[in-house]
Amino acid sequence: MSVFTIEAGLAFLGLVLLLVEAFKPDICRRTLGLMAIAGTALALVLFVFAKHDTASLPGFMQPWHQLDTLALFYKGFALVITILVLWLTLECAPYLTRFTVDGKLAEMFSLPLIVCAGMMWMASARDLVTVFVSLELVTVSFYVLVAFARKSAFSLEAGVKYLILGALSTGVLVYGIAWIYGATGTMSFDGIAKALANPATNKTAALFGAAILLCGLGFKVAAAPFHMWVPDVYQGAPTPVTAFLSVGSKAAGFVVLTRALDAFLVENSIIGTEIQSLLLVAGSLTALLGSLPAMFQTSVKRLLAYSSISHAGYLLLALACRESPRFDLSSGGVVAFYLATYLPMTVLGFLGLGLMRANGLGEDIKDFAGLAKRNPLLALLMTVSFASLAGLPLTAGFLGKLFVFLGLADHGYWGALSCAIIAAATGFYYYFKTVLAMFTTEGTDAPALKLSSATRAVAGLLAVAILVLGVYPKPLQKLLKPASATMAARN
């Protein structure tokens, strides 16, 4: 079975679920959700055992699809996050349905499948056309998902903001693609890399195109100064969608960014130094602009949004550090590693948020007061999640940051390193503000919070993943190792 079959099947499953809902409107949403989860899980299993070489793809796909380790990793990543988002949707369903039309959630189960397929295609893209179409598939789906709970003013506002800004970024992206194409005469990453390594290529046009293209992609990954949509949209969107955006969409954006940068920063690239400097500046700025305003947030959801911005900053900085000879992970590998660690901690955070909402509580820090008393387990798990987000050692988050910082130090990017350190230091403040709230004893008259065993299992699994990745990252590193090797070969 080829990977493409799985991807297509996933999209198809999305359509089937829509049809099921259409023809059997009274179907229990839990059934629908579980079907989606089961389907995705099946896809994941099949994906693991599928053939992982390009030759196994259908012929018409072969020129457009690459199945290197990075692509495979991100495909798996997309499947995992989709499963988790679907689960999160089920958890959040009790309150989400209050804001959806007729209390229906069917599209919340089917669209993620299509998004997942889109993200998997993005991961394999070898040219800008593929990037564009799959990116748009994802983006348009997200327009719908963000505004899905449209009876909530927040969700709708987030939808409008995401729509306008997203469309603007699409325009910028296409304009950038046009100029890159104009400068290099090709839209495939390999071709672009080849052209950029050729000194005869027009440098100004290439720089101009690359700059605009990176602006467009920067929007997707929330790089400063294109991050301004993130807090509003993340806060307004339904929590599962926020999780999906902050993990899935961002990861997909970073995959594409990795691919594009692999081309732009190819050896002897005529625009290499400029783009690298841009990345350093943007990365530092992003880390800071994510961290500094986060200190004043009262809503945990918005806080997580800002945190996600600053994480994007670290990821950009990781991308700016190209070859690290003394590292088994290339920049792409570090990014992948970071994202892999970022997944469980962010999802766990959002899961906690969703559970709070589902139990009739708010999303503000003050609503977290006394959580440790009401549900010690949840408080513990959330603490793990936030500790990891803050980058505390022995959690997954620390290793990711460590690799980034090591890379920066290895290349001597001290300015960027100091910005990252300041951002991380600020991070301690706002993450622990929330943790502290959970453990305060004041205002604990609220009733105990009950979790189903399945929820506990999923949340526990995520926490364990954070801790295991934090102390035993070897398997993950191994998984990502060939990725760096192939890229090193290509570079």
Partner 1 sequence: MPSLLFYLLALITLGFGFMVVTGRNPVTCALSLAASFVGLAALFLSLDAYFIATIQILVYAGAVMVLFLFIIMLLDIKAEEGKKLNLPAIVSGVLLAVLLTLQIFAVVSGTGLAGKSPENTPLALTEAAGKIGKAALPTITNDLKAGTLPDAKLIGFTLFDQYGFHLQVVGLLLLVGTIGVVVLSKRERSAP
Partner 2 sequence: MPASIILLLPFFSALVILLGHRQLKGAAVLISVGSSIIAFLASLVFLATDDDNKLLLPFIDVAHFHAGIDVLIDKQSRGMMFIVSFIGMLVHIFSLGYMKDDEAKPRFFGALSLFMFSMTGIVLAGNLIMMFIFWELVGLSSYLLIGHWYQKASAAEACKKAFLTNRIGDFGFMIGILLLLGANAGNVNLLDLKTAFESGPLRPEAPGYSAGFTTVAALCIFLGAVGKSAQFPLHVWLPDAMEGPTPVSALIHAATMVAAGVYMLVRVSFLVAASPLAAEIIAGIGCITALMAALMATQQNDIKRVLAYSTLSQLGYMVMAVGAVAMAAKHGHGPEAPDPGHPAMFHLYTHAFFKAMLFLGSGAVIYACHHEQDIWKMGGLRKHMPVTFYTFAIGTAALMGFPWLTSGFYSKEAVLDAAFNSGWRVLFIGGAVTAALTAFYMTRLLIVAFMGKPRTDSAHHAQEAPMVMILPLTILAIFSIFSAWDGFANSLQALKPSHINAPGEGHTVLIASLIALIAGAGGAIFLYRGKDKDPVSIKLFANKFYFDEIYAVIVRVCQDRVAWIVTALERVFVDGIIARLPSAIVARLGAATRMLQGGHLQGYTFLLGGGVIAVIYLVVFVLPRMGN
Partner 3 sequence: MSVLEIIIALPLLAALAIWLGAPAHATSLGATLLNLLIVLVTTVQYAGKAATGLAFTYSRPILDNPSLSFAVGADGVSLILALLTTLVMLAAIWQIQDRPAIFYVSSLLIGGGALGAFLTTDVFFIYAFHELALIPTFLMIALHGRAEPAQRKAVAWKATIYLGAGSLVLLAGLAWVVLEFSGGSKLTFDLEALRNQAKLTPLADAKQAQIFFVLLLGFGSLVSLFPFHSWAAPAYATAPTPVAMLHSGVLKKFGLYGLIRIALPLLPQGPHVEWVQNALLLMLLGNILVMGLVTIHAHRLDDTLANSSVMHMGYIFLGIAAGSDIALKGAVVLMFAHGISIALLFGLCGRMRNQLGTLEYNKLGGLATHAPAFTVLFAFGAFASIGLPGLTNFAGEVMIFVGSFTDFKAGVMSNLQWTVILALWGVVMSAVYMLRAYRNIFHGSPTTGLFMIDPAFSQRVPFIMLATTLLVTGCCPWLLLNLMKSAL
Annotate the chain with three-state secondary structure.
CEHHHHHHHHHHHHHHHHHHHHHCCCCCHHHHHHHHHHHHHHHHHHHHHCECCHHHCCHHHCCCECCCHHHHHHHHHHHHHHHHHHHHHHHHHHHHCCCCHHHCCHHHHHHHHHHHHHHHHHHHECEHHHHHHHHHHHHHHHHHHHCCCCCCHHHHHHHHHHHHHHHHHHHHHHHHHHHHHHHHCCCEHHHHHHHHHCCCCCHHHHHHHHHHHHHHHHHHHCCCCCCCHHHHHHHHCCHHHHHHHHHHHHHHHHHHHHHHHHHHCCCCCCCHHHHHHHHHHHHHHHHHHHHHHHCCCCEHHHHHHHHHHHHHHHHHHHHHCCCCCCCCCCHHHHHHHHHHHHHHHHHHHHHHHHHHHHCCCCCEHHHHCCHHHHCHHHHHHHHHHHHHHHCCCCCHHHHHHHHHHHHHHHHCCHHHHHHHHHHHHHHHHHHHHHHHHHHCCCCCCCCCCCCCHHHHHHHHHHHHHHHHHHHCCHHHHHHHHHHHHHHHHHC
Q: Which residue, 236 or 470, has its beta carbon nearer to partner 3?
A: 470
Check residue 402 for interaction with partner 3 (CB under 8 A): yes
Q: Which is nearer to partner 3, 171 or 376 (CB)?
A: 376
Closest to partner 2 by CB, 228 or 380: 228
The correct pick among 35, 247, 387, 419 for binding partner 3 (CB under 8 A) is 387
Does 183 engage in binding with partner 1 (CB under 8 A)? yes
Of 59 and 199, nearer to partner 2 (C-beta) is 199
Q: Which is nearer to partner 3, 62 or 444 (CB)?
A: 444
Instruction: Characterize 425-439 residue by residue with b for buried, 16 or more Cβ atoms within 10 angstroms of its Cβ, and e for exposed.
Output: ebbeebbebbbebbe
Binder of partner 1 out of 6, 84, 93, 111 (CB under 8 A)? 111
101 contacts partner 1 (rule: CB under 8 A): yes
Binders of partner 3 in range 306-335 (CB under 8 A): 326-328
Among positions 361-380, residues that touch partner 1 (CB under 8 A) are: none
User: Does 421 contact partner 2 by CB under 8 A?
Assistant: no
User: Which residues in the 107-166 window bind partner 2 by CB under 8 A?
Assistant: 160-161, 164-165
**Which of partner 2, partner 1, partner 3, none interacts with 152 (beta carbon under 5 to 8 A by kind)?**
none
- State the minimum distance, in angstroms, from the CB of residue 424 to partner 3: 6
Phi, psi of 127 (to 5 degrees): -145, 170
Minimal distance, residue 291 CB to partner 2, in Å: 8
**212 near partner 2 (CB under 8 A):** yes
396 forms part of the interface with partner 3 (CB under 8 A): no
Taking CB under 8 A as the rule, does residue 380 contact partner 3? Answer: yes
**Residue 229 interface partner, choices partner 2, partner 3, partner 1, none, CB cut-off 5-8 Å depending on type:** partner 2
**Which residues within the stretch 201-260 sit at the binding site for partner 1 (CB under 8 A)?**
202, 204-205, 208
Q: What are the structure tokens assigned to 396, written together?
A: 């997954």
Restricting to residues 26-65, name those near partner 2 by CB under 8 A: none
One of 103, 393, 415, 443 touching partner 3 (CB under 8 A): 393
- Contacting range for partner 3; rule: CB under 8 A; set: 17-25, 91-99, 196-204, 398-406: 398-406
Token pair belonging to 377: 């387990």
Binding of residue 486 to partner 3 (CB under 8 A): no
Looking at residues 405 to 424 of the shown chain, list those that interact with partner 3 (rule: CB under 8 A): 405-406, 409-410, 417, 421, 424
- Scan residues 419-458 and list those touching partner 3 (CB under 8 A): 421, 424-425, 428-429, 432, 435-436, 439-442
Q: Name which of 256 and 275 has its Cβ closer to partner 2.
A: 275
133/228 with CB nearer partner 2: 228
C-alpha pair distances (Å), 262 with each of 92, 244, 254, 281, 322:
39, 26, 12, 18, 9
Smallest distance, Å, CB 147 to partner 1? 6
Residues of the shown chain interacting with partner 2 in the complex, contacts defined by CB under 8 A: 160-161, 164-165, 168-169, 172, 203-204, 207-208, 210-212, 214-215, 218-219, 224-226, 228-229, 231-232, 273-275, 277-278, 281-282, 288-289, 292-296, 422, 426
